[in-house]
Amino acid sequence: MSWSGFKKSVNRAGTTLLQKTGQIERTVDREFVEEEAKYKTFEKECQALQKDSKGYWDAMRAMTAAQTRIAETLEVFYGAADRTSEGAMAGHAYKRSVDDLDAGFGRELDGPYRTTISEPLGKMCAYFPVVNEHVSKRNKKLLDYDSARSKLRKLIDKPSEDPTKLPRAQQEHDEAKEVFDMLNDQLIAELPQLLDLRVPYFDPSFEAMIRMQSKFAEEGYEKLSGVQRYFADNVRDDYAAGQLDAQVEEVLQEMRQLSICGGN
């Protein structure tokens, strides 16, 4: 921090203290307070939205990537015994379709998701620190203005011996007011504009999002259901009836009976 910056912050700390003790009147701009509150809500929601949109994309990628690795593990199991069994064929078909899904979907939607969801959000969220900088600048200038005004008033109430003091205080007051007004007016004028613009800004993302969500589900469903051709006819019904779980239990039981498992 520069020397002048340090001086400023010390002075402002003093003003804040005097305001807290009621020595200096504090300016409250209701219009600004309202706009700022709305803006803060918007900022918070946008940041949450950004986080969730990233989480959604990452989850889609992680889901299909995990499926490809699950498929690899299945091959290990099938590879242990008979590579040409029906199950091994189905496992292989499964691997092909999840590989296809993982690669194809990532390649196809990576760009569009970025264009339609991540980038608009990222851009908007990148604006917030700058806007906040404007807001904090405005608040600092408000303190300067409050302090200059209180000085001026004191001089008017209690004229000083030094005749140059009053005009100087007047000038300081005017300058502080000008700077504050400029920043304040700009925020009051533009914060609502920013908020209004959010609707047309984010609107097109909505349709893109639901189309991509549905595309993801549709391709996943279609690619996977093709694997069913390699299953025996009764598998689907067996699954529905819970038969498959019983089979798994049976095999586990049989394994435990093996002599090498200490079964006997």
Partner 1 sequence: MKGFGKAIKRTPFAVTSRIGMAKKSSDPEFDDYQRHFAAMETGAEKLLKETKVFTDAVNSLFTSGAGYAAHYAVIMQPISGEYDLIGKNPEAEHTIRNVTKYEAAMEEMRALVSPELELIESRIVGPTKELQSVMKLIRKSITKRDHKLTDYDRFNNSLTKLRDKKEKSLSDEKNLFKLEQDFEMATNEYDYINNALKADLPRFMTLSTQFIDPLFNSFFYMQLNIYYLILEKMNSFADDAKYDLTNVTGAQIAQDYEERRTDAWSVIENLNIIKRIISVSRLVQANRSQNSIGRSGSTATGSSVGSGSRAPPPSNPPFKKAPPPPPSAASHAPPPPYTPSSSGNGAAVAAATKRAPPPPPLKPKPKIVPQVQYVIALYDFVAQADGDLSFNTGDKIEIVERTASAEDWWTGRLNGEQGVFPGNYVQDA
Among 17, 33, 70, 103, binds partner 1 (CB under 8 A): 70
Query: Torsion angle, CA of 42/47/51/53, rounded to 10 degrees?
Result: 40
Query: Torsion angle, CA of 137/141/143/147, rounded to 10 degrees?
Result: 160
The nearest distance, CB 154 to partner 1, in angstroms, is: 26
Cα within 13 Å of Cα(222), Cβ side: 9
Q: Report d(CA 58, CA 110) in Å as an integer.
A: 11
Residue number, 17 or 48, with CB nearest to partner 1: 48
125 binding partner 1? (CB under 8 A)? no
Q: Report d(CA 224, CA 214) in Å as an integer.
A: 15
79 binding partner 1? (CB under 8 A)? yes
Residue ranges in 95-124 that form contacts with partner 1 under rule CB under 8 A: 108-113, 115-116, 120, 123-124
Residue ranges in 243-262 that form contacts with partner 1 under rule CB under 8 A: 243-245, 247-249, 251-252, 254-256, 258-262
Work out the number of other CB atoms within 10 angstroms of the CB of residue 66.
Answer: 12
Q: Report d(CA 192, CA 34) in Å as an integer.
A: 10
Residue number, 74 or 166, with CB nearest to partner 1: 74
Residue ranges in 36-65 that form contacts with partner 1 under rule CB under 8 A: 37-38, 41-42, 45-46, 48-49, 51-53, 55-56, 58-60, 62-63, 65
The nearest distance, CB 104 to partner 1, in angstroms, is: 10
Site track 216-245 with partner 1 (rule: CB under 8 A), x = hit: xxxxxx--xx-x---x---xx-xx---xxx
Stretch that binds partner 1, among 14-22, 76-84, 145-153, 165-173 (CB under 8 A): 76-84
174 binding partner 1? (CB under 8 A)? no
The nearest distance, CB 141 to partner 1, in angstroms, is: 7
> Residues binding partner 1: what is the number (CB under 8 A)?
123
The nearest distance, CB 15 to partner 1, in angstroms, is: 17
The nearest distance, CB 73 to partner 1, in angstroms, is: 4
Residue number, 20 or 236, with CB nearest to partner 1: 236
Q: Report d(CA 179, CA 172) in Å as an integer.
A: 11
Nearest to 142 by CA among 3, 36, 2, 40: 36
Contact 151, 173 (CB under 8 A): yes
Work out the number of other CB atoms within 10 angstroms of the CB of residue 235.
Answer: 15
**Tokens, residue 75:** 């091959």
Q: Report d(CA 119, CA 172) in Å as an integer.
A: 45
Residue number, 70 or 156, with CB nearest to partner 1: 70
Residue ranges in 128-157 that form contacts with partner 1 under rule CB under 8 A: 130-131, 133-134, 137, 141
Among 69, 154, 156, 171, binds partner 1 (CB under 8 A): 69
Q: Report d(CA 49, CA 41) in Å as an integer.
A: 12
